């Protein structure tokens, strides 16, 4: 058997494959596709368009113009497929509602793009619910879920579709529960 130095194995991009091929031969290793111990069983990235329902939301304090007021609030909205909503927040003809969004927030930095902390619930019809929470205006941590999303961990990122804040792109990047959790 050929002797392999530790330095060469660590320098190679696939050090696990290099070690295994040195021990059992390259042919046997290249045919096997395995996941490393503790690795995610399932990983996914999904994008949705969220249209906020300004009339369906509420706040303890009153807003001035198009600016979210500080303090406690409740926000709600509708999820559509990515690309089914224009920058003005209007769904395209034939766009289907894919789910609902609800959030209990505390706004500490008012504005069209407010700074807030919140607990978010995204219910995707027929698939399950994702819970998330955090202190940020662009991403929050996934804290759990039901249905397909049971035990999920990851992040939900948000970006305005236009300048009005009427529609938001949500990108959900998650992994399912892993062994040992």
Q: Which tens digit of pLDDT belongs to each residue from 52-110? A: 887 767 666 776 666 667 788 888 999 999 999 988 889 999 999 999 999 998 888 77
Task: Tell me the domains of the chain and their CATH numbers.
Answer: 1-34 (no CATH), 43-175 (2.40.480.10)
Q: Which tens digit of pLDDT belongs to each residue from 6-36? A: 344 444 444 444 434 444 444 443 444 444 5
Q: Which tens digit of pLDDT belongs to each residue from 124-175? A: 999 999 999 998 768 899 999 998 888 888 999 988 887 766 788 899 998 8
Tell me the three state secondary structure of residue 19: helix
- Residue 48 is predicted with a pLDDT of 94
Is the CA virtual torsion 171, 151, 78, 72 positive or negative? negative
- Residue 174 is predicted with a pLDDT of 87
Which alpha helices (H) appear in 94-159, and where do they start and end? Answer: none
Q: What CA–CA distances, in Å, run from 181 to 39, 176, 177?
A: 11, 10, 7
- Residue 16 is predicted with a pLDDT of 45
Q: What CA–CA distances, in Å, run from 48 to 3, 12, 58, 98, 168?
A: 52, 39, 23, 9, 8
Q: Is the pLDDT of residue 44 over 80?
A: no
Residue of 28 and 117 predicted with greater confidence: 117
- Residue 19 is predicted with a pLDDT of 39
């Amino acid at each position: 058997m050929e002797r392999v130095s530790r330095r060469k194995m660590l320098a190679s991009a696939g050090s696990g494959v290099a070690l295994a091929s040195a021990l059992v031969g390259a042919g046997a290793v290249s045919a096997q596709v395995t996941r490393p111990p503790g690795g995610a069983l399932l990983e996914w990235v999904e994008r949705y368009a969220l249209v906020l329902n300004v009339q369906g939301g509420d706040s303890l304090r009153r807003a001035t113009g198009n600016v979210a007021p500080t303090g406690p609030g409740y926000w709600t909205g509708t999820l559509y497929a990515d690309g089914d909503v224009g920058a003005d927040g209007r769904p395209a003809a034939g766009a289907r509602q894919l789910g609902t969004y609800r959030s209990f927030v505390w706004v500490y930095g008012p504005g069209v793009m407010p700074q807030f902390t919140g607990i978010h619930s995204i219910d995707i019809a027929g698939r399950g619910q994702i819970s998330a929470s955090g202190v940020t205006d662009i991403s929050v941590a996934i804290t759990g879920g039901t249905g397909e999303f049971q035990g999920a961990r990851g992040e939900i990122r948000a970006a305005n579709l236009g300048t009005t804040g009427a529609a938001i792109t949500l990108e959900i990047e998650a992994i399912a529960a892993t062994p040992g959790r």
